Structure 1
């Protein structure tokens, strides 16, 4: 298992099925950074507590709304136009890189908070993933399962 959240997120996302699951859950309103953080916490054996879930959401929700999502909207808005315009395509790639950096910064913030919580408190079969998923994402059991399988590398 990766010690830091960013490395864990990259490793998990690169595994078969993870990208598809993340994109499906994101389309349903889930915060993929929160989900990856939840899987990381599960693997570290951090106890699931409502106050901890809320503390993570308190960090993630404004960052997603004010930083990540505006960048994502611009990147998506430019998709078609960038196929016809090389310069815009280059700008779109820069926005994409900023979006990824914004997600990395969010993961660093989540990790800084979660590092204060003792690891090894519970077995790894907790429900952090479900606790951090949006209500709509709860109905996509396949995507949640696919993401969990990718995180465990099985």
Structure 2
């Protein structure tokens, strides 16, 4: 188990099925950084409650709206054209790296927000996943399953 959220996120994202599940969730409007944070908290035994979920959403939403999503939108806007323009593709790769760095900063902010929460209180992985994904427009709940498996093995 990784002690910091960034390392945990990288390790989890690299597991089979997780990237595809995260992209499905992201397409449905779910903040993947919040999902990864929820997995991390659940694995650490941090109890899930409405106050904690709201605190995480309050940290994530402005950064995601103002920083991460504009970078992602620009990267996606250039996707097709960049396949035929090497210079634009190089710029697109820089935007992609900047988007990843923005997500890393968001994960650091989420980790700091949750650092004082007691651990080893509960095994609340499903509550965290449901809580951080709540409110997504067209959420495919089946996309949450590979994430549970990646963390718990079951």
Q: Normalised by the size of structure 2, how large is the TM-score?
A: 0.95
> 1:107: Cα distance to partner?
0.1
What are structure 1's unaligned runs of at least 5 residues?
none
Distance in 2 (CA, whole Å) between partners of 1:29 and 1:125 is 20
Which runs of structure 2 are paired with 1:5-154 in the superposition (5 Å)? 5-136=5-136, 139-154=139-154
The answer to which of 141-150 and 16-25 deviates more is: 141-150
**Unpaired runs of at least 5, structure 2:** none
Q: Is the 8 A contact 2:125 2:148 kept in 1?
A: no
Provide the TM-score with structure 1 as the length reference.
0.95
Q: Contact 1:53 / 1:131 at 8 angstroms: preserved in 2?
A: yes
- RMSD of equivalent CA atoms: 1.4
Contact residue 130 and residue 138 of structure 1 kept, 8 A: no
Aligned residues: 154
Aligned partner of residue 51 in structure 1, secondary structure: helix
- How far has the Cα of 1:135 moved from its partner? 3.0
Report the CA distance between 1:122 and its aligned residue: 1.3
Flag the 1:125–1:65 CA change in 2: closer, same or farther, 3 A: closer
